[in-house]
Chain A
């Protein structure tokens, strides 16, 4: 059982697999530049929300990733009734950031989660934004 501490480090998602069965490896979805396969930018502060009313969510196709980790996916979609940042989803559901980003990326690619603010999200803030932050902080 050399893998046991490792699995507990990854947290609840690893436990979603049927007991006694090895968790199937999810494609190691590399988030180059914070982007998912379909170009969604998922930085820690990126806002996400459910695209539809989560109660009207269709059941996931059997066998897919969504079906295998359904409780986590449902929790994410439920939490995203409200606008949340990627970091908030990770913190509030106590799921590691990397895992949350994979799931959110998948949900976004499926159109079930909307990812806000794209454009130049990976660049540095421009002067206009910095000035807004400055006046905002001065008002605190």
Chain B
């Protein structure tokens, strides 16, 4: 790819409103924060992000070795195989000077190397669950339970499949009583916003007030 020759002034972003005012003012930057959406393959992470994002979800890749280390070097390690991990993300400008990013990340344990970095500074995580493959979310739950990051469980309900009450899911996942569980639809913006609000509410519950 010829980087120098490509038009990088506007970039291939698809934001239907065009550039936001904060993007064109380099004298200051908005406050920025993020939420992580974790879950197994095909559970609806990218759909979830796309339902609220003001840009078409963008894909970024991290390269890791088989040993599970991130590669931040130009020369790959010759004796180790590497894999690429894709992460989709979206963006919401909540105020002219407040931006929220949503990062969808695969839930397998071998991606934990990426999460330590990804969750730093995050509001918390939404663990997305498909009740037909409940076990896919176990690694993500284990990770967030042990890391102390606020998290909630969102059941992405695919129509035509059995619908379980949140309390049934809570029991099946042996979730502590204080962790919110809700049933939503990753394609419906309103339920995605509700899910995000539930997470922020949970984060507020466990964030100490100013003394």
* CB-based contact A134/B200 at 8 Å: yes
Question: How far is it, in angstroms, between the C-alpha of A136 and the C-alpha of B60 when the chains are bound?
Answer: 26
- Chain B 90-127 interface mask (CB, 8 Å, partner A; 1/0): 01101100111101000000000000011011110000
Question: A6-26 interface mask toward B, CB cutoff 8 Å, 1 = contact, 0 = none?
Answer: 110111111001000011111
> Out of B9, B34, B92, which one reaches A44, CB within 8 Å?
B34
Q: Does chain A have a CB within 8 A of B89?
A: yes
Task: Judge whether B52 and A6 touch: CB under 8 Å.
Answer: no
Contact (A29, B72) CB under 8 Å given A85-B101, A97-B61:
yes
Cβ–Cβ contact B9 & A78, under 8 A: yes
Residues 71-100 of chain B, each 1 if its beta carbon lies under 8 Å from chain A, else 0: 111111110111110010101101100111
Chain B interface residues toward A at CB < 8 A: 1-4, 6, 8-9, 11-13, 19, 22-26, 28-34, 52, 58-63, 70-78, 80-84, 87, 89, 91-92, 94-95, 98-101, 103, 117-118, 120-123, 189, 193, 196-197, 200-201, 203-204, 207-210
Task: Point out the residues of chain B lying under 8 angstroms from A125, CB to CB.
Answer: 33, 121, 123, 203, 207
Residues on B with beta carbons closer than 8 Å to the beta carbon of A69 = 74
Determine how close the nearest CB of chain A comes to the CB of B80; give it in whole angstroms: 8
| Contact across chains for B8 and A78 when beta carbons are under 8 A apart | yes
Collect the chain B residues with CB atoms within 8 Å of residue A97's CB. Answer: 60-62, 87
Contact with B along A41-79 (1 / 0, CB 8 A): 001111101100000000000000000011110110011
Residue among A49, A72, A117, A132 making CB contact with B26, cutoff 8 Å: A49
Q: Across the interface, which residues of A come within 8 angstroms of B87, CB to CB?
A: 87, 97
Contacts of A10 in B (CB 8 A): 63, 71, 74-76, 82
Specify the chain B residue showing the minimal Cβ separation from A47.
B29
* A98 with B121: CB separation less than 8 A: no
**Contacts A/B (CB < 8 Å), 7 sampled:** A23-B74, A45-B121, A71-B4, A75-B4, A83-B22, A93-B8, A96-B61
Q: Are B209 and A133 in contact (CB under 8 A)?
A: no
If A44-B118, A127-B204 touch, whether A92 touches B71 (CB-CB below 8 Å) is no
